[in-house]
Every structure is written in structure tokens, then in C-alpha cells.
Amino acid sequence: MTPAEAPDWHRASLIPTTGIGGAKEQEMRATSALLSVLSAVPEFSKSLLRQFGAPAGTVETFVEVPFEAPDGRMVRPDGLIRVSRGKRSWVCLVEVKTGRNMLDREQLETYLDVARTNGFDALVTISNQYSPSAGVHPVKVSGHKLRRVQMHHLSWIALITEATIQHEHRGISDPDQAWILEELIRYLEHPNSGALQFEDMGQHWVSVRNSAKDGTLRKTDPGVEEVVERWIEFMRFLSLQLGRELGAEVRQSLSKNERNDQSFRVNSAMQYLESEQSLRGAFSIPDAIAVVGVSANLARRVVEANITVDAPKEGRPRTRVNWVVRQLSKAPDNTRIVVSFDRRRDTTSNTLSALRDEPSKGLLVDNQVNPRRFTIALTADMGVKKGNGQGSFVDSVQTTLEDFYREIVQVLKAWQPPAPKLPASEAE
């Protein structure tokens, strides 16, 4: 009899997911599993720790190391990582939270003081909280605490993404080490590990959504700021999740002010939600033809993913429309294409099905004005259920984005002018 024939047979695992007694034990097991794998799989530890400034070198890891805080109390950070290369060493403290447990500002500031007193380089936090954008910590601490010690954050999904990319795409040269890393990924993906996916839009989601549908939403309404902050976290989650599936670094496409000023980003999103009853985001994906946008119109209960591409610079107007239609041969019939034109404010809007039947429907009445760019969009009904399961808002946005990328973005190629031709030879 084989395991396939006996479904109650369970393969032995390096990191068991059973017997976790509570939140503290869950955190201890996740911390110990992660740190032990970092010391055992150099290619993974190098890729993960270099983003925090660690050199390539020998990695040693420890759990619950006791230190005396400046006020005389004994404290035990969840972990410590030391990377040694020659005479140089880099040391960071590690603080871990699992499940819905949140990082505590006072505790982090104490650990920053401990790190400074002991001459350590950094404090790294890991939790299910999401950085609003790369390099921004979800917990704001006193600025003077960061003068000599850096503070970095990883969400669990970011850590799983990095581990998956290293294992599946970059590769691990040693087969035994590859298996060890695979076991860590398997453990962290299990619900008992406490490493959660993005769950929902918060307790005020339903009231904000309904106010938008009724046309009464104001940015000062209770819960609007929380919903916007959750949306920003959701966009970070989607960038990591898409990057994990693609094996590439997917970044949010943000303005300079949005990147550098979280309050500016939140306020701008609140204003947009009030004026347009919509939430929006955008992603920069390596080698994609353009930035990919995603939005949720709460009034219309519609989710949309879109991309805008430049039209060819040569050919008749109808030929230029055909250029994009041919590339979308397998895209859904209800894909919408909006065409904008040179020196005209007018646009045309048609389904892909209509343009397949007659490409000239995408042109203006006289059929003589050249298309300038195409905006391609795929829409779907917005999920209304809570949580992240099928039929939920979270699932509808994620599914629409992934379907749009799979069926449209990854097949689009930018127009390239043909190579210049030599004149015919005299012999011809």
C-alpha cells in the first residue's frame, strides 16, 4: 500500500505543524524554524539578509537571548542573527509576531536601546503587518532611536515570497539544503504556523462600502481612514503575491510623494475615494509592456484591472487597431479597449469581441486619425463577502488582477519599427 492509496498516511516533516499550544509557542516555533534554516541554507540567508545591510558570510542564529535594558529590566528578544566575514561582524535582533498579534512600539524602542547599547547594527521585525511600501516600517518609533541602529520589517508573506523565489526560481545548489528550505515554506504556508494571508478590509468595510454606493461617503466619515490603510496594505500584499508567482520583484507604482510620505498617500487615497467612490493601485512588473492598474469602484460594485500601451507609429489607422486586437487572440470577449487619438480629445470604447468583428469600430468617424494609445481593461463583479474566501472582496480583486495579467499583460509586446531595408541590388 502506498500513501496515495492510504490518504490517512502523513509524510514525516522537518517542522511539525501539530501540537502548537498557543500564541507564544506559535511564535517560538516560527522563530526557531526560520532562524535555523537561515543558518543552514547560505544562499537563502544571503538573499534575505543583504537587504538589511548584512555582508555575505557565516550565519549564526540564536533564540531568546537575554539582555539588560537601560532601565535595568531583563528582556529577551525572540532572536539574534550574527553574520561574520573575516574580522567584520553584523548583528541584528529579531522580534516576531504571528497570527493577529501586533508589534508593540514600546517593546521595539526597548530593543532598539538594547541594540544600541551592545553595538548591534539592526532590529528586524517579522509579523503579519504589511509595510505600506518597501522600506517603510509599519510601526512608527521615536526618530532618535534610529540614529545608530536601523529597523527593518518583513511581513510573513514577504518572507515566504523571498523563500519561494529563492527555491523555485534562483535555485539552491545543494539538494539537502533545497529540501530544508522547502520544508520551511511548507510549514509557513500551513494555517497553524500563524503566517497569515491578507484577510479582510477591516471592521468598517461594510459601512464605508455602503456609503459609497449610496453616494453619501465623505473622507471624514468614521472608518474611511482605516479602510484606505487596509487597501494600501492589500496593494503591498498583491505586489508580493504576484512577485512570488512570477519569480520576480513586483513593485507598487507610486509617486515620489506617495513613496516618501505615508500621510500624503493616505490622504490622497481618501480624497479619491470620496470623489470617485473608488480605491486604486498600480504595479510595475519586470519586462511588462507598461504599468498595470487595479481599481475597485464601491458605488458600481465593480473591480477593474487595466493597462495603457502606445499604438504603433506606422501603418494605416485600421492596421494599428488590428495590431493590438491580434495580440489579444485568447483574451475574454468582454475585454474593453479604449482608443485615444493624435491631436483629438475624442475616444472610442468597444469590447474586444466587437473589434474582432470590425476593427474600424475603434476609429473615429472619418477613419483617418491615427490611434495614439490603447487602454485595455478587464472588469468583474466586486465580491461582497467578508474575509478572503471565494466571493469575497479580497478574492475578487486578486482574481481579477491575476486573470488580467495571465490573459492580457503577459502576451502584450511593444510595437517595434521594422528594420530599414537595403535597396535592391543591380543583379535583382
Q: What residue spans in the chain does CATH classification 3.40.1350 cover?
A: 23-191
Residue 368: its pLDDT value, please?
Answer: 84
Is residue 92 a contact partner of residue 65, using CB atoms and an 8 Å limit? no
Is residue 51 a contact partner of residue 59, using CB atoms and an 8 Å limit? no
Residue 297: its pLDDT value, please?
Answer: 97
End-to-end CA distance of the chain: 74
Cα separation, 161 vs 405, in Å, equals 18
Q: How do the pLDDT tens digits run along the chain, 428 residues long?
A: 565 566 677 677 788 877 677 888 899 999 999 999 999 999 999 999 999 999 999 999 999 999 999 888 999 999 999 999 988 999 999 999 999 899 999 999 999 999 999 999 999 999 999 887 777 899 999 989 999 999 999 999 999 999 999 998 899 999 999 999 999 999 999 888 988 878 889 899 999 999 999 999 999 999 999 999 999 999 999 999 999 899 888 999 999 999 888 889 999 999 999 999 999 999 999 999 999 999 999 999 999 999 999 999 999 999 999 999 999 999 999 999 999 998 888 999 999 999 999 999 999 888 889 999 999 999 999 998 877 678 899 999 999 999 999 999 999 999 998 888 888 876 65
Which of 115, 150, 156 lies closest to 135 in space, CA to CA? 150
How would CATH label the architecture of 23-191?
A: 3-Layer(aba) Sandwich (3.40)
pTM of this prediction? Answer: 0.84
Cα separation, 156 vs 197, in Å, equals 8
